[in-house]
Chains A and B, each alone.
Chain A
Amino acid sequence: MTRLRLHVATLLHPLWQLCFSFLPLLLLVCISFWTVVKFQLVPGASLVNYRSLLKSPLYFHALTTSLWLAASNSLLAALIATPLAYAIAFHIPDRWQRSIIFSLLLPSLSSYVVRMFSWQPWLNDKGLFSFGLKFLGLKMHPIIYTPLAIRIGLLSVLVPISSLVIYLGLLRIPPWMHSTAKNLGASDRQFFLFLALPFVWPGFCAALMISFILSFGDFVAVSTLGGNQVYTLSMLVSDAIRINDWPTAAAIATTMIVISVLAILGTFSLLRLTPTLSRKEGEK
């Protein structure tokens, strides 16, 4: 009897995920093969939704915009975050490190919608950036409703998360490594390139993956800061749902799932390129 209870307990969490995450996604993929006839959803196995997507220039525009935005933002976020994490790990006294990481995370863990909204006063034409530039005598096109605005908004969320992930990787460097390298005459740059890099790389890849997933599926920043000027796949999906066109929305979503899975697999293959140290950590 206890054997059975143990098996049930083992399966409880995976079962929950199966019922409320896997099955819904499976249903989504199935619906992408259905059709809408006279406002009624008709189950079936038809590729008509995918064919109309492939013929649609709007879809390709949204696809390229989404991919470009997600890829460039994730790379930017990881690149900006690496010196940041490095500075916190090695150039801040230990006592303050946790507080600084905490204060970095602080705004980014509060309401996503509110944070994007709070960028608006900075970026619109009556906004603070324009105010500052007017002071200097320059006049500039308002930044809001452009890809740059979305980039700024997304980066304000992606950089803290990326730096946390990379910082956690840097924490695994044995404390004696830095001082030993310094004693043996290594410069900061040499330390970074030859000793810290193998610890940075997995964190860097994880940060890339998380940032890509977050920006690829992002809807709030795009609609709040991009308005209707920047069109991504997430906007396309929400438009399709708004007119109750489930099969089309499901088809677009399925392509997004495929791309996300490819991105995750790609990260795993990037991870395999981790440069290995000649001795394992843990050996003294």
Chain B
Amino acid sequence: MTPRVLLRIYLVLTIAFIFAPVATLALFSFHDGQVSSFPIDKFSTRWYTYVFKNQELREGVSNSLYVGALVSILSTVLGFISAHLLARRRHRRQQTYILLVSYPSLIPLLLSGLALSMYFQYIGLIGSLTAIAVAHVSYTSPFASIVIYHSYNQLNVDIENAASNLGASRLRVLCCVVAPQIWVSLVASSLLCFLISWDEFIVAWFVGGFNKTLPVVIYGMMGGSFNPGLNAAGTLSIVASTSFLAIIFGLFILSRREHWHEKIHH
């Protein structure tokens, strides 16, 4: 067998390895029995009705949505500002600035969660959803910054210079000139931050206290007696994340197409 064929087989096997648990999760979520094992005799959607009626899960979802919305907005704003500054100003210490802004993403979340749970006790924010949002913003804003920074190569800096020559303030240039052009990456970065926050467990667990986001609720349900409703809840969560990812991906393709469009027609 040629290396080509071997590599292709390797690719298929690895993808199968990564998708296998997700596939079985979805499969078992339609299983009518209590135990997640073969053989599957009856199929039903009873676990999905259970999930929709479960109060704890619904609270988890609404908490996650609230936190995610806060995180996506704040992160995108912060990331936009730092990306703009990195792209437009030649700092003497650009590397230091990047490090100062991005280092929270390099710290294991367990340690940030621990530190923040102690910190928030002292400043009185512990146990609230706002605290979780604030913690998540620290972690996700570097990603927002990277995404937005990469869209700057399609901008023409002369337009911004012209605008400020005509009297626009810096803020106005940001909002009225730059933002409308890179709106795709702004949306993509807010969705990405929402997604990261939606799936994040450990910091939310440490900081949230009794306010549980969805992953915290799921983790709590895992500890006790085996709960097959978790299969349905898990599948729904993955479907939600996947749809968001698909939207982000579609936005990237869209922005590429716009970019090509401009390049050809200039």
Contacts and interface: CB of A to CB of B under 8 A. Distances in A.
A104 B13 CA distance: 12
A131 B38 contact: yes
B237 interface: yes
B112 A216 contact: no
A181 to B, nearest CB: 15
A103 interface: yes
A257 B15 CA distance: 33
B241 interface: yes
Contacts of A6: 170
Interface in A143-178: 156, 159-160
Interface stretch (B43-51, B96-104, B152-160, B179-187): B96-104
Interface in A1-24: 2, 5-6, 9-10, 12-14, 16-18, 20-21, 23-24
A115 B106 contact: no
A14 B110 contact: no
A20 B137 contact: yes
Contacts of B138: 16-17, 20-21
Contacts of A114: 25, 215, 218, 233-234, 237-238
Interface in B114-159: 114-119, 122, 134-135, 137-138, 141, 145
Interface in B1-28: 3-4, 7-8, 10-11, 14-15, 17-22, 24-25, 28
A20 B128 CA distance: 15
| Size category of the binding interface on chain A | 35 or more
Contacts of B104: 17, 20-21
A84 B11 contact: yes
Given A24-B119, A91-B8, A156-B21, A105 B245 contact: yes
Contact of B18 (A25, A108, A117): A108
Interface in B198-221: 198-202, 206, 214-215, 218-219
B101 A17 contact: yes
Interface stretch (A52-60, A246-254, A276-284): A246-254
Looking at B104, B110, B137, B222, which has the most chain A CB atoms within 10 Å of its CB? B110
B107 A88 contact: no
Nearest to A234: B110
Contacts, number: 216
Contacts of A105: 245
A106 B242 contact: yes
| Size category of the binding interface on chain B | 35 or more
B145 A107 contact: no
Given A109-B195, A113-B215, A126-B35, A249 B114 contact: yes
Contact of A84 (B14, B122, B141, B199): B14
Contact of B81 (A12, A31, A213): A12
Given A9-B81, A16-B138, A249-B114, A220 B201 contact: yes
Contacts of B137: 16, 20
A5 B110 CA distance: 36
Contact of A128 (B38, B85, B114): B38
Nearest to A101: B249
Contacts of B255: none
Contact of A224 (B79, B101, B135, B222): B222
B107 A111 contact: no
A102 B241 CA distance: 13
A87 B7 contact: yes
B21 A13 contact: no
5 contacts: A17-B141, A118-B24, A120-B36, A253-B111, A260-B107
Given A28-B111, A104-B18, 17 more contacts: A23-B119, A80-B14, A84-B14, A88-B11, A102-B249, A106-B245, A107-B238, A111-B238, A112-B200, A114-B237, A114-B238, A117-B25, A217-B109, A217-B110, A217-B111, A237-B114, A241-B206
Interface of B: 3-4, 7-8, 10-11, 14-15, 17-22, 24-25, 28, 35-38, 78-79, 81-82, 85, 97, 100-101, 103-104, 106-112, 114-119, 122, 134-135, 137-138, 141, 145, 169-171, 195, 198-202, 206, 214-215, 218-219, 222, 230, 233-234, 237-238, 241-242, 245, 249, 253
Q: Which 5 A/B pairs are nearest by Cβ-Cβ distance?
A: A217-B108, A24-B119, A110-B241, A118-B21, A114-B234
